[in-house]
Structure 1
Amino acid sequence: MTLAVSLRDVAFSYGDVPVVDDVSFDVEAGDFLGLVGPNGSGKSTLLTLMLGLQRPDMGSVRLFGEAAHEFTAGERVAYVAQDATKTARDMPITVREVVRMGRYPRNLFGRFSPADHAAVDDALENVAITDIADRRVGSLSGGQRQRVFVARALAAEAELLALDEPTVALDAESRESFYDLLADLNADGMTIVLVEHDIGVVTARASRIACLNRRLYFHGAPDAFVESDALSAAYGANQRILHHEHGEADESTPTDSEPDREDSR
């Protein structure tokens, strides 16, 4: 078993405010992990800990077998932050130029080889944005911008794709299309860690679920999560899950429908 991420007894606080408490679980290579929990539950913070962007106060985080905060093989990991598409609206560069950025960690001398150009072209094609490659990123829709960032990850040949609330600003059709893209990437072997507020989508799409509200309430298969009491325990209320199957809904959705804003946690 190859582990992409391993957390053991992880705790983290902002000052005197505890955000993550005694969290332990593994993400196996090839997993599609959905990280869910109520607003302010520490999901975004946990994701940054998993990627080594912050260091835990206690416990350990390992990324591909190395201490996450010392991990240097940045080309193996791609991260799409919560505000990525908002920032992209102000970027005065083209889609192709953004996707080319994915090759920078593999291109220490700054000169693009034919292999670099081919990787960029393949990434554009794989996420179906070749036709807009020369457009300015700021002129794109939210769904198109998300595909640009995924294409950048593909150009980097990343093994792990981490996304924090990537579909908050997207309409329903764009959301489904985006999740179809993630499913295809996962089927091709990419490990995905997704922070998402739509629990129904996560249970339908992910291969594993981690439910968090400062501490870990569940980690396992989606079917087991649906049958467990973890949702109501973590959210502190009677919640039911909306199942997305061929566009049909059979239960009411949880009330956690607003995007996380964990700056203050």
Structure 2
Amino acid sequence: MTTTTTDRKRSTSPIISAGDVTFGYSDVSVLESVSVDVEPGAFLGLVGPNGSGKSTLLELMLGLRRLDDGTVSLFGQPAHEFDDGERIGYVAQDVTKAARDMPVTVREVVEMGRYPRRLFGRFSTEDRRAVSEAMERVGITDLASRRVGRLSGGQRQRVFVARALASEADLLALDEPTVSVDAESREEFYGLLHDLNATGLTVVLVEHDIGVVTTYATEVACLNRQLYFHGNPEEFVETDALARAYGTDQHVLHHDH
């Protein structure tokens, strides 16, 4: 049975709550007092120029880095202590590029999403069902026996999203997943994210294409070390936050869907 909005775990608390987050590498400041909450069912797009701290903020939100100051909670727990990994589907930057050298099939990659839920190292009927449904939802069932390295960039994207869906995650986090992917595949991919979010799946996306974010996301957070805007995409395009964050005159190109 396909997961729907009503199937997902309900919560009145933010899935992620970042308060006054400060972080730096040695003497280089990356984030300065950034506060962002991600509510259940949101589709948050993190935008900003190169080196603005977008990817670092996402990693702090997921507990992959320890912050210098401030607080980050993930599903109500300190992010760096959170260990319920099956609730999070994370597609890291360049993971699809690295997958070109993986000697595994599409099904085997998607099955990795079930590893945290397996009992005694064996795949159950429920595991197999979840894997098959995840592949069906992203449209890669016909690729199940293909080697991942022989797929196009757009197809590999879908494989790693399917891996996250197979884990029945409540949060899907993606760090610039469409780098080096053709325009048509990118539009299809973001349409897929939009549809998954419509089922209640919470999505956090780091993306350099501001037009994609303002078209598909329900919220935008614009930053460059500090936070310049967090709110509705329609309000974002009417503010000067983009110009202030980039330090230049920027225009948003909307995508039709």
The answer, yes or no, to whether TM exceeds 0.5 is yes
Q: State the Cα distance separating 1:240 from its structure 2 match.
A: 1.1
Partner residue, 1:139: 150
Q: State the Cα distance separating 1:47 from its structure 2 match.
A: 0.5
Q: State the Cα distance separating 1:34 from its structure 2 match.
A: 0.4
Q: Secondary structure at the match of 1:166?
A: coil
Partner residue, 1:158: 169
Give the aligned CA root-mean-square deviation in angstroms.
0.8
Counting only pairs closer than 5 Å after superposition, residues 104-183 of structure 1 correspond to structure 2 as: 104-183=115-194
Deviations 1:32-88 (A, max 9, x none): 000000011010111100000001000010001000000010000011111101110
Which range is displaced more, 145-154 or 78-87?
78-87
Partner residue, 1:97: 108
CA distance in 2, matches of 1:17, 1:189: 38
Q: Secondary structure at the match of 1:89?
A: helix
Letter in 2 for 1:221: N
Equivalent of 1:206, from 203, 217, 222?
A: 217
Partner residue, 1:220: 231
CA distance in 2, matches of 1:137, 1:224: 40
Deviations 1:114-147 (A, max 9, x none): 0000000000111010000000000000000000
Equivalent of 1:16, from 13, 27, 31?
A: 27
Q: Secondary structure at the match of 2:191?
A: helix
Q: Which runs of 4+ in 1 moved over 3 A?
A: none
CA distance in 1, matches of 2:256, 2:141: 30
Partner residue, 1:72: 83
Q: State the Cα distance separating 1:245 from its structure 2 match.
A: 2.6
TM-score, normalising length: structure 1: 0.92
Partner residue, 2:201: 190
Q: Are residue 241 (structure 1) and residue 235 (structure 2) matched?
A: no
CA distance in 2, matches of 1:128, 1:238: 39
Q: State the Cα distance separating 1:169 from its structure 2 match.
A: 1.3
Q: Are residue 42 (structure 1) and residue 53 (structure 2) matched?
A: yes
Q: State the Cα distance separating 1:108 from its structure 2 match.
A: 4.4
CA distance in 2, matches of 1:74, 1:109: 18
Aligned residues: 246
Aligned identity (percent) is 70
Q: Unaligned stretches of 5+ in structure 1?
A: 247-265
Letter in 2 for 1:138: G
CA distance in 2, matches of 1:10, 1:137: 37
CA distance in 1, matches of 2:147, 2:191: 25
Equivalent of 2:71, from 50, 55, 60?
A: 60
Partner residue, 1:260: none
CA distance in 2, matches of 1:202, 1:128: 23
CA distance in 1, matches of 2:61, 2:151: 30
Q: Secondary structure at the match of 1:223?
A: helix
Query: Is the contact made by 2:94 and 2:179 (CA closer than 8 Å) also made in structure 1?
Result: no
Letter in 2 for 1:8: G
Deviations 1:200-234 (A, max 9, x none): 11101100000010010000000110011100000
